Structure 1
Amino acid sequence: MNTQQQERMGKGKGFIAALDQSGGSTPRALRLYGIDEDAWSTEEEMFDLVHQMRTRIMTSPSFTSEHILAAILFERTMENSVESLPTAQYLWERKGIVPILKVDKGLLEEADGVRLMKPMPDLDDLLDRAVANGIFGTKMRSVIAGCNEAGIKAIVAQQYEIAQQILAKGLVPIIEPETDIHAEDREAAEEILHAELKVHLDDLAEGQQVMFKLTIPVKDNLYADLIADPRVLRVVALSGGFTRQEACERLARNTGMSASFSRALTEGLSVNDTPEEFDAKLKASIEEIAAASAT
């Protein structure tokens, strides 16, 4: 493990940029960026277009370590390059930004009010490639659709089980059981989730640390004890469908919780922007999110 990166993730100021849209979410991300689906005819062309978008973000003058702690990458992005350097190497060596890899393969159909992660039979191989590429940690997402105790227990158990596999490779896992912001009983679901996340921390071996990526809670500072726990390197928030303004307002009320936004980060950016327009928009977005993360 890179101790310099660990120190930065644990104590640095700023937020995590989530640039990890995968096959399912890429068309929407491109559409919001101003590229319609008739712009590509193969999956390869689609991923080339989204890599161009991500490269434009990463190479922007405003995308710096002043406000950005880390960036979450999709597998194809990790295996691609930026300015002739492997992406993770570019981020760390040129920008001082910690590279993180999304490792999940999507979600199963809903059962017991949750959507568990699909099986990951090739995870060991992916983690080995991550280590070889200089990746610091990983991210894996599952979704809580409503307050079902059995489902929430299952989702947390699955997250921690895979986290152990990741920790064994010397990487730091980001555990991400997202709570659907539209769930009517979200507050009750988050109370159960909080308790389960806390219980499973006792499964970690001495010296091991995890990170959490969670929906900004209904109850402000619900996760304060997790943020303070030495076994937790950092707790970050996903925007979860909120506008950037609303996500930032909610986040600012949660002391010590920083952002890990994807759609809210790129909100308003367009393929048709001039370089100056693009950078000005991205700069304003980054500064707004960084301010909300600094509370």
Structure 2
Amino acid sequence: MDKEQFDIMKNRKGFIAALDQSGGSTPKALALYGISEDSYNGEEEMFTLVHEMRSRIVTSPVFSSEHILGAILFEQTMDRKVDGLYTADYLWEKKRIVPFLKVDKGLDAEADGVQLMKPNPDLDALLARANERHIFGTKMRSVIKSANREGIKKVVAQQFEVGKQIIAAGLIPIIEPEVDIHSADKAESEAILKEELLLALDALNPDQFVMLKLSIPSVDDFYKELIAHPQVVRVVALSGGYSREEANEKLTHNPGLIASFSRALSEGLTAGLTDDEFKTKLAESIQSIYDASIV
């Protein structure tokens, strides 16, 4: 684990850019960027186009460590290059932005009001490659649909079991048990989730550290105990379907919680923008998310 990168993630002001749309969400991300599905053939062309989109974002002069602490990459992005460097090396060496990798393989079918992560038998091999590519940490997502205690217990147990495997590989896991923002009992789900997370965090050894990525809570400042926990490097928030404006507004009511936005970060960015237009829109987006993250 890189001590300088750990210190940045623990202590510096800013937010995390999520650039980790995967196979299932890439067509939607490209469509929002102004590239329709009928304009490319097959996965290879699709991933090349999305890498061009991500490269345009990360090479922009406004995408800098002044506002951005880290960036979460998709596996394909990790294995591709930006300006002749592997993406993680470009982020760190050129921008001083800490690289993370999405490592989950998607979601299982809903059961007990939740969607667990699909089995990931090749994780150790992926973590070895992540280390070769100079990745600092990982991210993995589950989804909570309703306030089912047994289901939420399973989500947290699975996340921390895999999290310990990631810690053993020398990486910092971002544990992401997303609560669906459209859930009828979202606040109740968050109350159960916080209890279970605190139990799991208390069971970690003093040298085991995690990050948490959570939906912006229904009750203001609800995650302060998680933010203050000694085994937690940082607690970050997903936009979860809110517009950027709405997500930013909600974030300002949660001191210490910082953004890790994907769709909300790239909102309004399209392939047809000139470089100056693209830079201006991206700068506005970054500044607004940063301002909401340093409250």
Instruction: Identify whether the pair has TM-score above 0.5, normalized to the shorter chain.
Output: yes
Q: Is 1:177 the counterpart of 2:177 in the alignment? A: yes
Inter-partner Cα distance in structure 1 for 2:43 and 2:80: 15
Q: Is 1:230 the counterpart of 2:240 in the alignment? A: no
Partner secondary structure for residue 101 of structure 2: strand
Which residues in structure 2 correspond to 1:22-171 (within 5 Å)?
22-171=22-171
- Between 1:281-290 and 1:194-203, the stretch displaced more is 194-203
Amino acid at match of 2:241: G
Inter-partner Cα distance in structure 1 for 2:49 and 2:84: 17
Inter-partner Cα distance in structure 2 for 1:39 and 1:256: 42
Inter-partner Cα distance in structure 2 for 1:39 and 1:69: 34
1:269 aligned residue? 269
Question: Which runs of structure 1 show a deviation greater than 6 angstroms over 4 or more consecutive aligned residues?
Answer: none
Q: Is 1:7 the counterpart of 2:7 in the alignment? A: yes
2:255 aligned residue? 255
Inter-partner Cα distance in structure 2 for 1:203 and 1:121: 25
TM-score calculated relative to the size of structure 2? 0.99
Amino acid at match of 2:59: T
1:34 Cα deviation from its structure 2 partner: 0.2
1:152 Cα deviation from its structure 2 partner: 0.4
Partner secondary structure for residue 100 of structure 1: strand
Inter-partner Cα distance in structure 2 for 1:32 and 1:42: 18
1:203 Cα deviation from its structure 2 partner: 2.4
1:199 Cα deviation from its structure 2 partner: 0.2
Inter-partner Cα distance in structure 1 for 2:213 and 2:245: 19
Deviations 1:180-236 (A, max 9, x none): 000010000000000000000122122211000000000011110111111100000
Partner secondary structure for residue 45 of structure 1: helix
Is there any run of 5+ residues in structure 1 with no aligned partner, and where? none
Partner secondary structure for residue 237 of structure 2: strand
Partner secondary structure for residue 218 of structure 1: coil
2:218 aligned residue? 218
Amino acid at match of 1:73: L
Inter-partner Cα distance in structure 1 for 2:190 and 2:77: 32
Deviations 1:25-53 (A, max 9, x none): 00000000000001111100000000000
Partner secondary structure for residue 259 of structure 1: strand
Inter-partner Cα distance in structure 2 for 1:202 and 1:249: 31
Q: Is 1:21 the counterpart of 2:10 in the alignment? A: no
Aligned residues: 295
Is there any run of 5+ residues in structure 2 with no aligned partner, and where? none
Q: Identity of aligned pairs, percent?
A: 61
Inter-partner Cα distance in structure 1 for 2:39 and 2:118: 30
1:178 Cα deviation from its structure 2 partner: 0.3
Give the alignment's Cα RMSD to 1 decimal: 0.5
TM-score calculated relative to the size of structure 1? 0.99
Partner secondary structure for residue 175 of structure 2: strand
Inter-partner Cα distance in structure 2 for 1:203 and 1:129: 29
